[in-house]
Structure 1
Amino acid sequence: MTSTPFETVAPDPFVYLDRLAGSGLGRFYKGRMLEELDVLPGQTVLDLGCGPGTDLGPLAEAVTATGAAIGVDHDQAAVEAARERTAGQDAVAVHLGDLHDLRLADHTADRARTDRVLQHVADPVRALREVHRVLRPGGRLVMGEPDWDTLAIDHPDSDLSRSYTRYVTDEVIRNARIGRQLPRLAAEVGFAVPKVVAVTPVFRDVQAADEILGLERTTRRACTAGYFTEEETRRWLNHLAGGSFLAAMTFYIVVAES
């Protein structure tokens, strides 16, 4: 092939997060998460794993000047970026912190959200237990997480599709099945789980999918790890780049109440 729809170099993490947030998929599911969070003026809301502050603006608008939108992230660069982006918004504060050990007093927040964060943490149960501790009675946590084991990419050779998904699930994402597990895990630490919403994004454009999934980069890594041969890698990528494309995956929005 003389041209490719694939990104060969991974984008800057903050660029990636902003790009996803600005996509149709990002706007849809983030809007639904905000709706389920049901933030009221004057409340304290936590954005746990806030990254560069992509979602702090809408939270600050919801709590108004009488409330507080608090971002927490373990990465110093993300904290600095979030502080810079939200400078001048008096309702916003951003702290360096660990979701496993939040430096917040018991029962200090009304609402909390996690957005594609628990798939990466070392101990999701411990993180959920911490959120339960800091929420006031009757507080609400809204979580959005993919289930990577549901990733389905059409290809004439279905074994290659299964190999790709298996590599992502086994090797790339730490907690790859967290989406389906969240209702059970939240209940185990004391939350009630009144609602689970399944969102199934469908990609028909390979370039749009690649911007989210990093198809070629992931495939090359899968080949190195032994999930594809060189010949299978070539067939897989050639078809994705030149054929009729379809990919889909289930994304779960889980509402939990303390």
Structure 2
Amino acid sequence: MSTTLGVNRPEQASYMLRAAASNAGRAYKQQLIDLLDISPGQTALDVGCGPGTDLPALAERVGEHGTVIGVDRDPAMLAQARERTSDLHGVDVREGDVHALPIDPGSVDRAKIDRVLMHVEEPVAALAQLHLATRPGALVGLVEPDWDTLAVDAQDLETSRDFTRYTTEEVVRHATIGRSLGRLAEKAGFRVETVVATTPVFRDFADADHTLGLGRNMQQAINDGYVERDRGERWFAGLAEGSFYASFTLVTVICSR
């Protein structure tokens, strides 16, 4: 197990698949799909579907008479999503941007957008596109982290706090959007039905390093002069010694059209 700071980001599709396969990933995704209450024959939309991780589960819920639409703007992601769903009936993978969804207005019964809004340019504009795409009575599930709540246990608590501040201020475009989802959804015209906060916990250093970007983001913080090199390197090396703990808050909002 390496305790050397790294600067390379993991390949995006493999990163998403590994995160989804983790215990925390499986738990919140199952919760989201359950809360959406998808019925056979409905049309379900996955915005920012990535490599198609969730498309099979949606296809199972809508059944043979339903339709699942996955939208992503990354050609590499789309290729994997199409391959993953090639033997599934009623799955349509489309290239498109969250700000201009390739969806007929009022054609969707259920929709989800999972850990995408924190990266987009205009989250409310993206939610307005979802509002346009959905039918009256439709349910929409939104899931985003609140990176301001990222907690990494270390003897050097101040450096852990600096790491969280750097993540929030420099790494993620909309780092605290999780806490704002309900307000933003209402601004886009939705009615908030359910808000659930969960806390993914990481006890394995290697998994946390991969998912939370401990090494690569600390290296960026050092390069940007946010943390002194010796302090940052000692902090990261110390995380691999003994028991490890990290967590953050993940917010799920279910809203209706």
TM over 0.5: yes
1:4 aligns with 2:16: no
Aligned twin of 1:93: 92
Aligned twin of 2:202: 203
Once the 2 structures are TM-superposed, how far is the Cα of residue 36 of structure 1 from its aligned partner?
0.7
Aligned twin of 1:171: 170
Aligned twin of 1:157: 156
Once the 2 structures are TM-superposed, how far is the Cα of residue 205 of structure 1 from its aligned partner?
2.0
Aligned equivalents of 2:104 and 2:5: distance in 1? 44
Once the 2 structures are TM-superposed, how far is the Cα of residue 46 of structure 1 from its aligned partner?
0.2
Equivalent runs, 1:39-188 vs 2, <5 Å: 39-188=38-187
Once the 2 structures are TM-superposed, how far is the Cα of residue 7 of structure 1 from its aligned partner?
8.2
Once the 2 structures are TM-superposed, how far is the Cα of residue 89 of structure 1 from its aligned partner?
1.4
- SS at structure 2 position matched to 1:242: coil
Which amino acid in the other structure matches residue 73 of structure 2?
Answer: H
TM-score by length of 2: 0.96
Residues 94, 102 of structure 2: 8 Å contact kept:
no
Once the 2 structures are TM-superposed, how far is the Cα of residue 130 of structure 1 from its aligned partner?
0.6
Q: How many residue pairs are counted as aligned between the two chains? A: 256
Residues 45, 69 of structure 1: 8 Å contact kept:
yes
Aligned equivalents of 1:78 and 1:42: distance in 2? 26
Task: After superposition, give the CA deviation of every residue in 1:10-66 in whole Å (9 maximum; x if it has no partner).
Answer: 322111111111111111011001101111000000000000111100101110110
Once the 2 structures are TM-superposed, how far is the Cα of residue 88 of structure 1 from its aligned partner?
2.3
Once the 2 structures are TM-superposed, how far is the Cα of residue 177 of structure 1 from its aligned partner?
0.6
Aligned equivalents of 1:211 and 1:157: distance in 2? 21
Instruction: Provide closer, same or farther for how the CA distance between residues 43 and 7 of structure 1 changes in structure 2, counting only shifts above 3 A.
Output: farther
Which amino acid in the other structure matches residue 183 of structure 2?
Answer: R
Residues 119, 173 of structure 1: 8 Å contact kept:
yes
Residues 201, 250 of structure 1: 8 Å contact kept:
yes
Once the 2 structures are TM-superposed, how far is the Cα of residue 6 of structure 1 from its aligned partner?
6.6
Once the 2 structures are TM-superposed, how far is the Cα of residue 129 of structure 1 from its aligned partner?
0.5
TM-score by length of 1: 0.95
Residues 119, 175 of structure 1: 8 Å contact kept:
yes
Structure 2 unaligned segments of length 5 or more: list them: none
Identical counterparts, % of pairs: 48
Equivalent runs, 1:221-236 vs 2, <5 Å: 221-236=220-235
Instruction: Provide closer, same or farther for how the CA distance between residues 257 and 7 of structure 1 changes in structure 2, counting only shifts above 3 A.
Output: farther
Aligned equivalents of 1:245 and 1:89: distance in 2? 40
Aligned equivalents of 1:254 and 1:227: distance in 2? 34
- SS at structure 1 position matched to 2:244: coil
Residues 36, 139 of structure 2: 8 Å contact kept:
yes
Task: After superposition, give the CA deviation of every residue in 1:196-234 in whole Å (9 maximum; x if it has no partner).
Answer: 000011222212211211211111111001111011112
Residues 70, 92 of structure 2: 8 Å contact kept:
yes
Residues 6, 214 of structure 1: 8 Å contact kept:
no
Residues 49, 72 of structure 1: 8 Å contact kept:
yes
Residues 45, 111 of structure 1: 8 Å contact kept:
yes
Aligned twin of 2:16: 17
Which amino acid in the other structure matches residue 205 of structure 1?
Answer: D
Q: Which deviates the most, 230-239 or 185-194?
A: 230-239
Over the aligned positions, Cα root-mean-square deviation in angstroms equals 1.4
